[in-house]
Structures are given as structure tokens and as C-alpha cells.
Chains A and B, each alone.
Chain A
Amino acid sequence: MTLTDIIMAVVSVLLLGIAYLAISSKKLIKGVIFLSALSMLSVVSYVLMKAPDVALTEAVIGSGMVTALFVFTLLSIEKGEAK
């Protein structure tokens, strides 16, 4: 087993763990944060699998933009509930 394999295994386990947390977390914002973390982890896995293009795109779009959109949605809802 090479180092890459070991790292990949670790990443895989982390991926699954975080995915489960994202699904099962009670608070929405937690779910969103876990999703973002999952996305970052996937970036790691892309890098491991020699896909820098995808990694960059996922980092910017998947992890950054999507999280921002989720947060904005929740933000506007909280504003509404405050009133």
C-alpha cells in the first residue's frame, strides 16, 4: 500500500463520515457547513486523483459558491423569521 492509497483511504472514510453528518444533522446550517466540508474533501480527492482543473473548479464553484447560496437562502429566511 503506497502513501497515496493510505491518504485515499483516509479521505474516503472522512468523505463518508462527513456525508453522513451532513445528512443527519438536525440544524440546517450545520448541514450546509458539512456539505461545504464535504466539497472541500472532494477537492482533496480530486487533487489526489490528479485532476487540478476539477479541483480548482470544485473549490471555487462547488465549495464556495454553493455554500454561499445556501447561506444566503438561510439568511433571508432568518431575516423573515425575525420579523
Chain B
Amino acid sequence: MANIELLLLFLLASGIVSYFLTKWKSFVGSVFTIFSTMFVFASLAMYGFSGQLDTTVNVIPVLSFAQTNIGFYFAIIIVFVYLMVSFFHPYFVGEYKYKNSYNVMFLLSLAGVIGTFFADNFIQLFFAFEFIVWTSMLLIPMGKSKKAAVSYYGFSAAGSFAMLFGILVMRSVSGSFDIDLGLASLAGGQATLVFVMFLVAAFSKLGAFPFHIWLPEAHGNAPHPFSPVLSGALVKLGAFVAVFAILRIMPSTPLIDFANSNLPHIPLGQYAVVILGSLSIVFGTLMAIKEDDAKKLLAYSSMSHGGYILVAFGIMTSQAVAGGFYHILAHALASAGAFMAIAAVAKQTGTTKMSELGGMIHKMPITYIVYLVAIISMAGIPPMGGFISKWLIFQAVIDKGMIFVAIAVFFGSIGSFLYVFRPLAALFLGQELREYKVKVKEAPFLMLLPMLIITALNVYTGVIPSAILNFTNGMLVDLGLAPVSITMWDIVGTTGTLNPALIALVFGFGVVIAFIIFIVLKKSKKVTLMETYTAGNFVHDEQLLHYTKDFYAPLERLYIKYTTIMKEFYETLAVKVKEIGRFGKYLFMNKFIGTTILWIIAILLFLLVGEVL
């Protein structure tokens, strides 16, 4: 069965079934959820790659679907993340306050995802978009913080309403909600308007620079099995919108022609996107470096990776765009893996604070490996998927000669080393805390399975990217870009050719050697706590540091003052709205009848002065 409509109906139905099953036994309901998700993934995977998905509509006449390469690419990645995460449900869902609705909302938001990526008109796209917003929004408060959902909704709503505005502008031009028709009809000022509106949507969904506040809130406080979905899957909705905005609206209407200048040949709008994207990379990296909570740290890393995607799309060359698309996959896998590993740790220990954890490698070695591979991919080190995408992006950046962007991009990469290493060190390495020594065990098999699959894929995408790049080449052609030339083993860039398999081989070889050295020359010595120092930061009293507290304190000191600026900005905004509200109450809603009369008199006076005089 590969009819999209039927898949949607199936998800709705299984949502209802899972409600009752979960009510009866949460384990059974969650297992049911796994099978439902698996079914959807299997149908998509079986027919989708060959483009044989059935998009006809028989039951709900208002809907209409279309399979595009881009939509399918996003869909399969996100559904895969959903599937992987659903394996965690049996162990987590039972604890939540409204466990029945958890599985329901999970399945419903999955339905929204499918609706989004297979939509063939903007209204349906918006419908599905909003549908995902509220279904996922209701899941977040089951985690730690109740406020997180509010900021998640606020930014999501801002984004989707901006998109709606853009859609409506497009509709007024083209007269229909059709995606291709609408995008093709734009020109001039309207194109700019729609471009900006879609970018607002893309940025706020991706959590890129000016709209990043919700990311750490929502990712950090969401239920543990939902954080990977948010970061690995739902954030990518922003990238999907960004494709519309950056690659489909503006290329036909460049703002300023840079042909005769020394600047790179990018329209101004895209150039701004690139700049904002690199800002996202820098800020995300810096914020992640100072974060204590492992999940929030990864959330900031999502922000910086969102920046990579934006930079890639903004540059607009085939290589860059291919890198962007590849990065979507790589980051989805890496961040899902990392978040799932942390979720597994949190499941076994109950906390995600790095300062409260340590030495998990002894108890949870497999989880450790999963996390290690994930962060290696995130940092863009071979032989993982992240390396391939970053390589492509770097190439494009250098190709365009964008020095500052290049600095930002490299800084992000180096920064990644800094911050992803911290949770690794803090959670898994270092001294084993006494309170976790006894009771903590490795995660159960059902949780390890998806993590291992993801790890395998992380490696696969880093070693043999050609199959995926072939697919993205199809997407590039759809977008009117030249495909990136690839052979079975090589990726041909403008400045050279990359053979990932070879690199992986060399890398593997190096690891093996290092491992042998490690085994052979193994002699670690015990030091006292006071002897520990890192990053040039001296330890002043005897505390359990293990690379967690104030790890990069000297670096942090440089910018710690400025980290809350954006947050304060939005808080001030909220306060201002509140003040307007209070002022409004004072002006209009006080207990004196005279006020209302005064307003009536004032308005009539205003009008009559205009009319009579």
C-alpha cells in the first residue's frame, strides 16, 4: 500500500487505536506505535525511491498530493527519524502524565509530516505545517518545563503565519494555491516580500539566528524521546521551506547584479541568507560551548547546523546545494543519534546535566559508541556523513571566495570539536560517580537497536555517499541546477576529488593503529582532583570537575555577557506586549463609565473635524 492518502488515514486510525491500547497497557500501545510507524516507513521506502507512490485521492476530495524528489527526500529522512525514535516509546511513554495522548500526538504529527512533504498546493502545506505545530506542541510540556511549549508555539506560529502571508501574496498574483504556479508567477517586489516571509518561516523553524530562542527551550525540555524528533526531524521543515524561498523564488529575480564587482555572484537576498546563516553557525557554536545541559548543548548545535544548511542553500551552486541536502540527512542522523544516546543515559540515570554525570562508558559502552559516532559526524570528521556535506559546503564557500563566511564555517567546525567533546567527556568519560555505580545498566535492546542502525548509517553516509548523492542530483536537476559529478567512489569537486571510502579506509587504519598503541602502551595514572586542569583554567578547590564545569571558562568569559541579548530581546518584546495590554486595560477597561463616553466623543469629534472643516 503506498497511497499517500491511505497512509494518512492509516495514521489517524492507528492514532485512535494507540490511544486505547496505551490506556490499557502503555507498553502495548507503544509497540503498536512502533509497528504503525514502521509500516508507514516501509511503504514509503518500498515504493518511493522508484517514484511509484500512489498520489491519487479517493476518500478526502479536498486533498491532492504529488511526489517530488525533494519532498520525498525530506519525507523519508524524517519518517526514518520518527521510526527510530518510536523504538524508545515502550520505555518512556508510561511515565508521562498523559501517556495515551503521547502516542496519539506522535502518530498525528507523523501524519502532518507526510501531508507536508507530499502536498501539491500551499494550502495543504500550510494545513499540515500547522497540524505538526500543535500536535508536537502538545507533546513538549510532558517533559521538564511547561514554558518550553509556549516559546515553541510562539516561534512556530510566527514562522507559519509569515509563510501564510507569503502564500497569500503568491495567491493574489497567481490566483491559485498551486506550488509551482505560485512560485513561477512571482516577480519584482512581490517576489522579495514572499522571499522574506518564507525566510522568516524557514529561520524560525530551523531555529536560525534571529529566531533561535525556542530551540534550547524546546529541545532541552521536551520529553527525552521527543527531542531527537524535534532536532533531527521537525527542524528540517525549516530547511524545506528554505528550499522554496532561497532556491525557487529568487533565482529568477536577482536583486542586484554583482557581475561587475568583486563580490561573489549571488543575489543580495541569498547573500543575506548566507550571512545570517554564518551568524547562526557562530552563535550556535558559542552558545553550545557554554551550555551545561547536554540536550540544550545539542540544541544549540542544531542551530549552528541549521546555519550550515542556510549557508549552503544561499550560495546556490550545485555543490553547495548538494552539500546542504546532504547535510540535512547527515545532521538528522547525527543529531538523532546523539539525542537518543543522551535519552538513553537520561533514562538510566534521570538527568541530562553534565555536571551531575560521569563515567557512563563503564556501564553503557554501546551508547557511548553511538554518541561518539554521532558527534564525529556532527563535527564533520571523516569517515562520517557530516564530513561529506561539510566538504561540499567548504568547497563551495571557498569557490565563491567568501572569506568571512569561510571563517565562520571553519569556526563552526572547530567549535564543534570543542562542544561535542564536552558531553562525551562529561557523560561518558571521567570519574564514575558513586551514586550511579550500582543501579545503572546498559540500555535495553529495543533502545539499542535504533541507535545502532543510526550509527551504521552515520558511517555508511560517510563512506559510500554516491547513492545518496545520486538522489540529490535528481533534486538539483529539479531545481534547475547542474548535478554534482560523482562516480561510484569519487565526488568530483571544483578544487579536487574526494574519495570518501579511501579516506575512511585510511581513517580506520589510523584508528586501528591508535587502538593498538592504546592497548599496548596502556598506563594511566591516577591524579588528585587538584591536579586536573583543562583549557588553561586552574582548579581552585577540590571539586568533581571531569571536564564539565567551566570547561572553556576563559573563552566563555569573552562573550558570556552577550549571550542573553536575543533572549532578552524577545522577553522585552513579550513584556512590551504585556505593557500595551495593561495600558489598553487602563485606557479602555477601567471602571469609569466616563472613559467609554470620552472615547465615543473623541472618535466622533475626530471624524467630524475631518468631515466638516
Do A and B touch each other in the complex, judged by CB within 8 A? no
